[in-house]
């Protein structure tokens, strides 16, 4: 089992990468949200120069905010600074696109985008359609100067449903997904990835998987809705509320049952925000801060924390992760966006990782 951290891209927080490396983490994944965070590739380059063994990559790059060659050139440039330590994760842009009131990329377009990215990362010629015209393209200069495609940059494709998981199996070197309570069991996710691998006529040998997890590490006797836990993990939990607010509005659907304890209260909290600016409100504090009133919502909804996080004492989390490894999980990364990550990285490393 490898361990990683998924952090908000912050040009002022480069020291955290060395902190994670010194604590024994294998990788740090960096978010890509152009309207909120520092540019992910700038942060990757700075982190590459501050570390020696840590793997550094995007968690995840967003298809809709750059064309495929731009993503590949950026990653290959950093790969020249830290050869063999760079990886790319891709997603449809649930947050990054919704900061602009746009939906994430559709699965058909996602599939095509990943086809192009995967070929460019291999140094191949690939047909690429841009503004209605299709032509063959390739990365023209690499290895000798400017950027490196070798050592190969692994491509992780994010998938939280069967179709996207199949795209990962078809074009990726690995899958990023979510495990229960809100996600999918490891072997079920890999079975969906295999559908795509079979479609492409490629096997699953060497195919990697990584789970993105919210973790609430409890002290003995601590309640899941303690002030400490809400301060550390509350923004992660609220991200699920933001997601389903957008989902219900777009699909004219009812909220899922697990949000029943906070839904009415959340609608009241955002009622003063003009409808045309709601996408600012639901995205601006994504994973790093709570709006006024949100902490009180979570204080009265401990089950919501359990429904969106892996919760337990160090001993309980150790056993749960040990079982996940037995189930086939290869990389466990916890998500963070606030300053609590410094202390939590130490506690998780000492109390959980050291036991595995």
Does 23 share its domain with 72?
yes
| Residue 241 placed within a domain | yes
d(CA 351, CA 356): 10
Q: What CATH number did the domain enclosing 86 receive?
A: 3.20.20.30
CA angle 81, 176, 152 (to 5 degrees): 35
Does 31 share its domain with 86?
yes
Does 318 share its domain with 301?
no
Nearest CA among 88, 107, 232, 231 for reference residue 159: 107
The domain total for the chain is: 2
Sign of CA dihedral 45, 91, 204, 148: negative
Does 287 share its domain with 317?
no
d(CA 312, CA 319): 10
Does 205 share its domain with 290?
no
Does 7 share its domain with 102?
yes
Does 114 share its domain with 162?
yes
Q: What is the pLDDT of residue 286?
A: 93
| Residue 222 placed within a domain | no
Q: What is the pLDDT of residue 88?
A: 98
User: Rounded to 10 degrees, what is the CA torsion of 206, 76, 130, 164?
Assistant: 30
d(CA 306, CA 216): 9
Contacts of 170 (CB under 8 A, 6+ apart): 111, 114, 196, 197, 199, 200, 202
Does 158 share its domain with 16?
yes
Contact between 40 and 110 under an 8 Å Cβ cutoff? The reply is no
**Residue numbers in the chain where pLDDT is lower than 50:** none
Does 209 share its domain with 236?
no
Q: What is the pLDDT of residue 39?
A: 97
User: Which range marks the domain in which residue 324 is found?
Assistant: 2-214+313-355
**pLDDT tens digits, 96-140:** 999 999 999 999 999 999 999 999 999 999 999 999 999 999 999
Q: What is the pLDDT of residue 192?
A: 98
d(CA 37, CA 284): 10
Q: What is the pLDDT of residue 121?
A: 98
Q: What is the pLDDT of residue 283?
A: 92
Does 288 share its domain with 342?
no
For residue 261, the tally of other CB atoms under 10 A from its CB is: 16
Q: What is the pLDDT of residue 256?
A: 94
Confidence (pTM):
0.97
Contact between 55 and 86 under an 8 Å Cβ cutoff? The reply is yes
d(CA 261, CA 251): 21
Length of the chain: 356
Does 253 share its domain with 323?
no
| Residue 220 placed within a domain | no
Does 347 share its domain with 238?
no
| Residue 176 placed within a domain | yes
Backbone torsions φ then ψ of 129, nearest 5 degrees: -95, 130
Contact between 338 and 288 under an 8 Å Cβ cutoff? The reply is yes
| Residue 348 placed within a domain | yes
Nearest CA among 59, 62, 71 for reference residue 116: 71
| Residue 246 placed within a domain | yes
Q: What is the pLDDT of residue 127?
A: 98
Q: What is the pLDDT of residue 275?
A: 93
| Residue 221 placed within a domain | no
Averaged confidence pLDDT in the chain: 97
């Amino acid at each position: 089992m490898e361990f990683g951290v998924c952090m908000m891209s912050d040009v002022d927080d480069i020291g955290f990468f060395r902190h994670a490396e010194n604590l024994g983490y294998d990788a740090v994944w960096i978010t890509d949200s152009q309207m909120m965070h520092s540019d992910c590739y700038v942060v990757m380059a700075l982190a590459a120069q501050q570390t020696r063994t840590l793997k550094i990559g995007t968690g995840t790059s967003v298809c809709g905010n750059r064309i495929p060659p731009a993503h590949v050139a950026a990653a290959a440039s950093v790969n020249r600074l830290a050869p063999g330590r760079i990886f790319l994760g891709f997603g449809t842009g649930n947050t990054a696109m919704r900061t602009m009131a746009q939906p994430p990329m559709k699965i058909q377009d996602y599939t095509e985008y990943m086809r192009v990215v995967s070929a460019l990362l291999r140094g191949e010629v690939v047909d690429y359609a841009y503004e209605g015209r299709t032509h063959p393209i390739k990365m023209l200069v690499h290895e000798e100067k400017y950027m490196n495609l070798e050592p190969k940059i692994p491509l992780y494709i994010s998938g939280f449903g069967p179709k996207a998981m199949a795209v990962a199996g078809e074009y990726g070197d690995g899958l990023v997904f979510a495990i229960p309570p809100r996600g999918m069991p490891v072997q079920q996710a890999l079975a969906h990835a295999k559908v795509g691998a079979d479609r492409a006529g490629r096997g699953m040998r060497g195919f990697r998987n990584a789970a993105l997890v919210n973790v609430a590490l409890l002290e003995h006797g601590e309640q899941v809705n303690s002030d400490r836990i809400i301060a550390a993990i509350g923004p992660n939990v609220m991200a699920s509320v933001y997601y389903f607010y957008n989902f219900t509005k777009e699909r004219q659907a009812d909220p899922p049952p697990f949000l029943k304890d906070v839904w009415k209260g959340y609608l009241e909290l955002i009622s003063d925000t003009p409808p045309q600016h709601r996408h600012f409100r639901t995205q601006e504090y994504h994973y790093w801060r709570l709006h006024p009133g949100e902490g009180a919502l979570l204080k009265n909804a401990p089950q919501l924390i359990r429904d969106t996080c892996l919760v337990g004492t160090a001993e309980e989390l150790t056993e749960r992760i040990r079982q996940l490894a037995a189930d086939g999980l290869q990389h466990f990364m916890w998500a963070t966006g606030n300053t609590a990550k410094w202390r939590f990285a130490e506690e998780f490393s000492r109390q959980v990782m050291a036991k595995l």
